[in-house]
Structures are given as C-alpha cells and as structure tokens.
Amino acid sequence: MNIELTAIREIFEKGGEAMWPLLFLSILSLATILERMVFWTSVTLKEKELVNRVLEAARYDWRVAHEIARQASKQPVGRFLYAPLRLQNPDPEVFKLALEAAADNELTSMRRGEKVLEAVIALAPLLGLLGTVLGLIKSLGSITLGDIGTDASREVTTGIGEALITTATGLIIAIFTAAFYRMFQGFLFSQIKMFRKCGNELELLYRQYWPYAPKTSPTPPEPTPDTPAETPPYPSYREPNPQDSAINGASPTQSPPDAQTQLPEDQEPPSNIGPSTTIQ
C-alpha cells in the first residue's frame, strides 16, 4: 500500500502544477457521481410497482389512489402523481396542467449535477494539454544546438515524457466522467418515458371519471394569522334595532329589511318617513 502511494505521489510531482486543478476536478467529479448514484438508486427502486398501484386504484376508487400517491410523495413519481390528485374535482384541462407542471419540476431536479459533469468533461483534457505544453516549454528551453546527441538531450526526452503525464491524467478523468454522465442521461430518458406513459394513462382515466364525479363547491381555506378569513360574497346585516323597527312599522322580531332600505348606524331617520316609505 505504501509503495502504491509513493508511486502515485511521484507521478503527481512529475506532472507539475497542472496536476492540482486536475486533482480538484477529479474529486468534484467523484463526489457528484456518488451523489447521483445514490439518487438514481432510490428513484428506480420499486418505481413501477408504485405506478401500477396508483393506476389500478384509480380505476375503482380515486380516494384510494390519492392516499397511495400521498404516502409516496417522497419519490419523484409519487409527487408527480399526487400533484393532480390533491386537487378537488378539477376540470380535465386543469388536471393535465397539474401533471405537466409537476413533470417539469421533477425532471429539472433530476438534472442536478449535469452541469458539473459537463464542465469536468470539457476542462480536464484542456488542463492536461496545458500542463503538457508548459512541461515542453520548460524542457526545450534549457537545450541548445550543441547539446543534441549528448546526455542533455536525453534529459530533455525524459522531461517531455513526464510532461505528457498531465495530458493522460486529464483524458482519464474526462473519459471516466463521460461514462457516468451518459449513464445518468439514460436514466433521465427512462424517467421521461415513465412520466409520459403513466401521466397519459392517469389523465385518460380521469377524463372517463370526471363526467360522473360529484360537483362540490371547493372548501375555503382555514384562516391563519397571516391570512384572515375571507368575507362571504353575500351582504351582511347589522343586528335589528328596536327603534328602527318602530320607525318602519315592524316589530323587533321581524326579519331585517332589504339591503336598499338599511339605514347606516350613525344616521338618524327622518321624522316624516312612514312605514311604506323606501329610502333612495
């Protein structure tokens, strides 16, 4: 183990200054690949089983499908299916829009890390080539025409070989990263197909169910300290005043008058208003 570490250290030192940014790119690429591997492993685990359960439940009872999707909301496909099911008897077009919006959000999160891998693939060979060029400049700068064929020229040849280490390192990092990048792209394309297929089936089932769905009015949201309760759309009456009832010729126990005949609380009624007079 110590011998291997010593050999790696010697190669790293021979590569020159360009090996440090290449080391940083290799660590960045490895960390991103490990994170994406954990993510895709959790996504693809029991994914098809979950989709089949939701679609099968939607054929018989939409409340059961809603509950299954809600319990699986930690998974991307679960959040995708739960987005339209949490709505209360939506129009089919609204149902479709909810599916499309959820799919866009989930696919965007699945592309996380792509830009990092693309940057590593593009920069690693260039940094390796830069290290080689710098090494060649350093090796050829110390040789003269009189040194050709002597021991000095052999040292230059050795320096050129060492300068090519950075190019080889950069290519290895880029090839390794590109392989995993293409694999993650394949996972993403399979998710796009999965979302399109199960979304179309769920939308078709809902379009068949919607004409027979009970049309209920939406439940108003509960008031919170930040959002007070909404004012009802119908007019509200103040408490009946015995004095007003006496003026209008009605008993205090009668129902309040029409909204057009209601007097403001701070205005005294005229004395010449009879029981049948209407206030304009």
pLDDT, tens digit (0-9, with 9 covering 90-100), for 27-59 = 999 999 999 999 999 888 888 889 999 999 998
Count of helices and strands (H, E) across the chain: 9, 0
d(CA 29, CA 206): 44
- What are the angstrom distances between the C-alpha of 53 and each of 57, 64, 69, 79? 6, 10, 9, 14
pLDDT for 38 equals 93
Sign of the Cα torsion 132, 138, 139, 140 reads positive
- The three-state secondary structure class of 280 is coil
pLDDT for 230 equals 44
Asked if the model's pLDDT at residue 271 lies above 80, the reply is no
| 114-173 pLDDT, tens digit each | 999 999 999 999 999 998 888 887 777 666 655 555 555 566 666 677 778 889 999 999
d(CA 165, CA 135): 10
Helix or strand run (H / E) with residue 60: none
| Mean pLDDT score, 84-101 | 91
Percent of the chain with pLDDT over 90: 41
In this prediction, residue 89 has a pLDDT band, given cuts at 50, 70 and 90, of confident
- The three-state secondary structure class of 46 is coil
Q: Please count the other Cβ atoms lying within 10 Å of the Cβ belonging to residue 148.
A: 10
